[in-house]
Structure 1
Amino acid sequence: MVEPSLWMQKVAADPNHSQWYIDRFRAMARDGADLAGEARMIDAMVGRGAHILDAGCGPGRLGGYLGAAGHRVVGVDVDPALIAAAQQDHPGPRWLVGDLAELDLPARGITEPFDVIVSAGNVMAFLAPSTRGLVLSRLRAHLAEDGRAVIGFGAGRDYSFTEFFADAAAAGLTPDLLLSTWDLRPFAEDSDFLVAVLRAE
């Protein structure tokens, strides 16, 4: 049994945490906030109808946009409440409850590898530290030969970018492009956010 994610530890400590998160994003959507910046970048990377994994999909804002844009999307999240919200708010993609550290989609009937795997919303920082390398290995195992993984998270979350790069390399992922924002600004040594576009070695 893998160590529970920091997210699920928060949920265990506060059973209302998931609903608060769902309500927060629903309110932002009602207010007209732009919640699709990450998804637009992913959409621009692939042709129409791409097979995309939203790893740590939360309530589905990213995968929902990509599904509506014509891609074949699978979203996976460890929190059943978030998956239920994704199913309600964004019908179309296939939404699954699952721990990324134990990701085995062929066992669930999804055998086609993914053209792009995206993990946005600081998912990497919400993983249990002992599972970070394992999660990257599981993502690598689901990636098409010429596919790319796109992972974004902020600094100051007890997972340094240096540690992340080392874990990614150990998992067989190498950087293609490093950005500091989802709107394509270059990454620098003092950047406080990382968007890493990785390919399989």
Structure 2
Amino acid sequence: MPDTSTTTRAAYDAVAHRYADLFSDVLKSLPLERALLSAFAELLGPGARVADLGCGPGHLTAHLRALGLSAFGVDLSPTMITIAREANPDLEFAEGSMAQLDLPDDSLAGILAFYSVIHTPPAELPPVLAEFHRVLEPGGHLMLGFFAGDDPEPRAFDHKVVTAYRWSPDALLALLRESGFTEVAGMVREPQVGERFQQAQLLVRAPAAP
């Protein structure tokens, strides 16, 4: 049986062009998310090095760059990376896994994982968060977007691309704390037209240098 990353890569490769057509302008209809991204950029400061993990067609990477950050994108799907490079030839994109980032320790001021950990089975998420922690510099920030639910345990659902998971914000925050992060801010909003579930964002920070 293929592992999760192989299945996810194949699923997004198959829908990459349609996905890009549907979601490249998605931020236009998400004012609250735009506001949080602006706050994220302001906290990090101009020119801060930021990874957009699970970048897809690169629309959020480009948005982060427009906010003044030194942003680059990483995605499992080679087709997504090709689309991102074609749409944003002045930005850096690389194929790669969130679970094994080709980055030095303490090398990033920030990480954006905008609905990109949703396909990670709950048992496999702690090592991914540990990898995020490894590459963030002391005091670096992580912003996570995800589908929210009220159940104390994460629940799988039939995402249109490949199986995904809804998390209680409290449960995911507890896991982030166990991984060494501290809460900065959070948001849960009700679904808009065309959305099935509540949408959530968590902004957390790695420990500052002693």
Could you tell me the TM-score, scaled by structure 1's length?
Answer: 0.76
Equivalent in the alignment of 1:188 = none
Letter in 1 for 2:198: D
- Which structure 1 residue ranges, 4+ long, deviate > 6 Å from structure 2? none
- State the Cα distance separating 1:78 from its structure 2 match: 0.8
Equivalent in the alignment of 2:178 = 170
State the alpha-carbon separation in 2 of the partners of residues 112 and 42 from structure 1. Answer: 18
- State the Cα distance separating 1:66 from its structure 2 match: 1.9
Which of 137-146 and 157-166 deviates more? Answer: 157-166
Count of paired positions = 181
Q: Decide whether the 8 Å contact of 1:3 with 1:130 is kept in 2.
A: no
Deviations 1:11-45 (A, max 9, x none): 6468632222122134x47xx94578264343333
Matched, 1:179 2:173: no
State the alpha-carbon separation in 2 of the partners of residues 84 and 56 from structure 1. Answer: 13
Deviations 1:108-162 (A, max 9, x none): xxx6621111111x21212233321111111111111121111111114343334
Q: Percent identity?
A: 27
Could you tell me the TM-score, scaled by structure 2's length?
Answer: 0.73
Equivalent in the alignment of 2:131 = 138
Q: 2:94 aligns with which of 83, 86, 96?
A: 96
Q: Decide whether the 8 Å contact of 1:10 with 1:17 is kept in 2.
A: no
Structure 2 alignment gaps of length 5 or more: 150-164, 190-196
State the alpha-carbon separation in 1 of the partners of residues 58 and 198 from structure 2. Answer: 25
Letter in 2 for 1:151: L
Q: How large is the RMSD of aligned CA atoms in angstroms? A: 2.8
Q: Name the SS of the counterpart of 2:89 in structure 1.
A: coil
Q: Name the SS of the counterpart of 1:100 in structure 2.
A: coil
Structure 1 alignment gaps of length 5 or more: 182-190
